[in-house]
Amino acid sequence: MDRTEIPLIHEIPAAGRRGVLPPSAPPEDRNTAVEALPDHLRRETPPPLPEVSELEAVRHFTRLSQRNYCIDGQFYPLGSCTMKYNPRLNEKIAAMPAFTQLHPRQEEADVQGVLRVCHDMQEVLKPLLGLDEATAAPAAGAQGEFVGMSIIKAWHEDHGTGRDEVLVPDAAHGTNPASAVLAGFKVREVKSGPDGRMDLESLRANLGGKTAGIMLTNPNTCGLFEKDIVEVARLVHEAGGLLYYDGANLNAIAGRARPGDMGFDVVHVNLHKTFSTPHGGGGPGSGPVAVSARLAPYLPTPHVVRGSDGSYRLSTPEKSIGRMLAFHGNTGVVLRAMAYALSQGGEGLRAVADHSALNANYILARLPEVFERPFGSRCMHEAVVTVRGARKEKDIRAFDVAKRLLDLGFHSPTVYFPLLVPECFLIEPTETESKDTLDRFIAAMEQIAREIESQPEVLASAPNELPTGRLDEAAAAKELNVCCRF
């Protein structure tokens, strides 16, 4: 809409201002709607809105915004989420009017630039993952899983294998079994061994004539590399199944190891994790999917391809599983990820993986003893520790420690995941944190360790120093009350 078409506030009849119709509706419609409103539904007095100056309003909202915990302000060691810094350069590029003013229904010839960005993203991912074809369209990691599992399903149907079971390790992210079921599979659980890695005996016991595939994260959600991955791939392929790689942990190995070389047939990547685009609160993500050559004909439509004349167009692969979302994906996220990939380069991405593993190992090595290490003293880019000993001896739970960390100025790591370690934390510092920040986090954990020893009541009541105290989590979700102690 042209700006001049928006009526000024004093031109809108009072009823319109009270939200009967959006202020942008034409005056005729507004009047008719207002007249149609029964008397008993009309306000008799204006709503009780506070009368404050602009300055007071600005200060109020600025104060609220500063209460918002975010990666630009503080450390966010949320395991499995890769909460790294989001460089401003990415934001600038995604905000360029040449991209933001596009409409998804524009002709291909008019949107060659953004199609090229989607295509380039696909071209960056193929060699990085060691696979043959890719689509940048899926709008989240979980949607990438659904796309990938639907491709595996279509492949089995096409080949008349009659296979309908997918194996998922007990350590997997909850979206994995959910995506497999949504794609029409039955799920069988593979157990982890005491070392936090997949138990090959359990794998063998679950493989059979019904096996359509397996979904794996590597490094897995315990922050450990599946050392037997080549053997796992051989066993699954031999049994007639395909391998799906959940790429949420790609940050640990990007540029160092490739899922395609490990034997995976389908991979999703969370651009909003590994490729430094903002996420959290369910905000827009992007979960590109890469596949081996035999699965390329099943990719979803529209698929961005480059013609022999160098132009980009939207195509439908020969045996496509169909359309998975309204348009071409979250191109704003793809733009940010592409800016990140280009500014890092291959060497930069490899350094990202190295430093993310170094930072996680530094924390793991320095945490006090009460944070037990169930899987030894080495990890990849994230580390599991548990307070199960403190639970037994002092009735201190991971939940209490998480709440106390808030008092000390830190967002808690992921708690109670992976499910196979009781009272656990999954700590992922990422490569973008300085040693100074890691040291401050370790100091906070040391303080908590001392408190567990001598002042456990401080933990039981935490958080003690924040605007909101400890909530009844079930009631808070059901009876939302957004007012808190200011």
Distance of CA 182 to the CA centre of its chain: 19
| Sole binder of ligand PLP in the list 21, 71, 248, 384 (CB under 6 A) | 248
Site string for ligand PLP, 401-440 (x = CB under 6 A): ----------------------------------------
Rounded to the nearest whole angstrom, what is the least distance from the CB of residue 270 to ligand PLP in the complex?
Answer: 5
- C-beta closer to ligand PLP: residue 150 or 221: 221
Is residue 168 within the footprint of ligand PLP (CB under 6 A)? no
Residues 281-320 that bind ligand PLP (CB under 6 A): 285, 287
Cβ at position 80, least distance to ligand PLP in Å: 4
Q: Could you say which of 206, 211, 221, 432 contacts ligand PLP (CB under 6 A)?
A: 221
Spatial separation of the C-alpha atoms in residues 435 and 418, rounded to whole Å: 26
User: Does residue 246 interact with ligand PLP by CB under 6 A?
Assistant: yes
Given the complex with ligand PLP, which of 135 and 221 has the nearer CB atom? 221
User: Looking at 270, 330, 361, 386, which residue binds ligand PLP (CB under 6 A)?
Assistant: 270
CB neighbour list of residue 160: distance below 8 Å, 6 or more residues apart: none
Residue with smaller CB distance to ligand PLP, 175 or 432: 175
Residue whose CB is nearest to ligand PLP in the complex, by number: 141
| Cβ proximity to ligand PLP, 19 vs 282, nearer residue | 282
Chain centre to alpha carbon of residue 209: 34
Short-list 457, 449, 391, 393, CA closest to 424: 391
Q: Which is nearer to ligand PLP, 283 or 422 (CB)?
A: 283
> Binding to ligand PLP by residue 175, rule CB under 6 A?
yes
Tell me how far apart the alpha carbons of residues 212 and 167 are, in angstroms, rounded to a whole number. Answer: 8
Question: Using CB under 6 A as the criterion, which residues of the chain lie in contact with ligand PLP when the complex forms?
Answer: 80, 140-142, 173, 175, 217, 221, 246, 248, 270, 285, 287
